[in-house]
Amino acid sequence: MANYSTNEFKGGLKIMMDGEPCSILENEMVKPGKGQAFNRVRIRKLISGKVLEKTFKSGDTVEGADVMDTDLAYLYTDGEFWHFMNNETFEQIAADEKALGDSGKWLVENDVCTITLWNGSPIAVTPPNFVELEITETDPGLKGDTAGTGGKPATLSTGAVVRVPLFVQIGEVIKVDTRSGEYVSRVK
């Protein structure tokens, strides 16, 4: 993998830091008028998800990380692995629980997810921004109530729990924003 100098740092660049692939969020040059220049860099560790700040001497180089995103359709889970398939090549990839993180509760069969691969192995699974799921459990609400009054918790077919308006009932399919975990609308 190529090395990158601090002048090549920019948001989205993938580098290796403390043995873990990281993505650069922000890069700011700090330089006294008379003296050494430094780069203060905000980095997200791609496996732990931790965000941290690192300071480099300007001109220093770091090793790039072989990280790529690929769009794959979710097939099924065998309990230990979650299986995804490339719809064009039919190549399959299995992600473990660690790579899956919190994404499991948003996985719908045949939905296309973004799988982040490091050296060819999955390290993160990002579900589509919006998914449609059926409500399996919720308290019966009052008729005529409108959205935005606080709502009630509802359990979805994948086990995810979201707050929904009182008028939404068991058996209905709703649209959820997976980034915020919030209810968007009913699906007719």
Partner 1 sequence: MSADLWMPSAEIATLQQRASIVRTIREFFYAREVMEVDTPSLSAASVTDVHLVSFNTSFVGPGHAKGLPLYLQTSPEFAMKRLLAAGSGAIFQLCKAFRNEEAGSHHNPEFTMLEWYRPGFDEFALMDEIDELMQLVLNVPAAQRLTYQQAFQQALGLDPLTATLAQLQQLAIEQGFADIAAHETHRDTLLQLLFCMKVEPTIGQDKPCFVYHFPASQAALARICEHDSRVAGRFELYYQNMELANGFNELTNAQEQAKRFTEDNVYRDANNLPQVPMDTRLISALEHGLPQCAGVALGIDRLVMLATKKHTIKEVIAFDVGRA
Binding interface with partner 1 (CB under 8 A): 7, 28-38, 40, 54-58
Given the complex with partner 1, which of 29 and 187 has the nearer CB atom? 29
Q: How far is the CB of 28 from partner 1 (least distance, A)?
A: 6
Q: How far is the CB of 27 from partner 1 (least distance, A)?
A: 8
Q: How far is the CB of 14 from partner 1 (least distance, A)?
A: 18
Given the complex with partner 1, which of 35 and 79 has the nearer CB atom? 35
Given the complex with partner 1, which of 31 and 175 has the nearer CB atom? 31
Given the complex with partner 1, which of 54 and 186 has the nearer CB atom? 54
Q: How far is the CB of 59 from partner 1 (least distance, A)?
A: 8
Q: Which residues of 17-43 are buried (b: 16+ CB within 10 A; e: fewer)?
A: beebbbbbeebeeeeeeeeeebbebeb
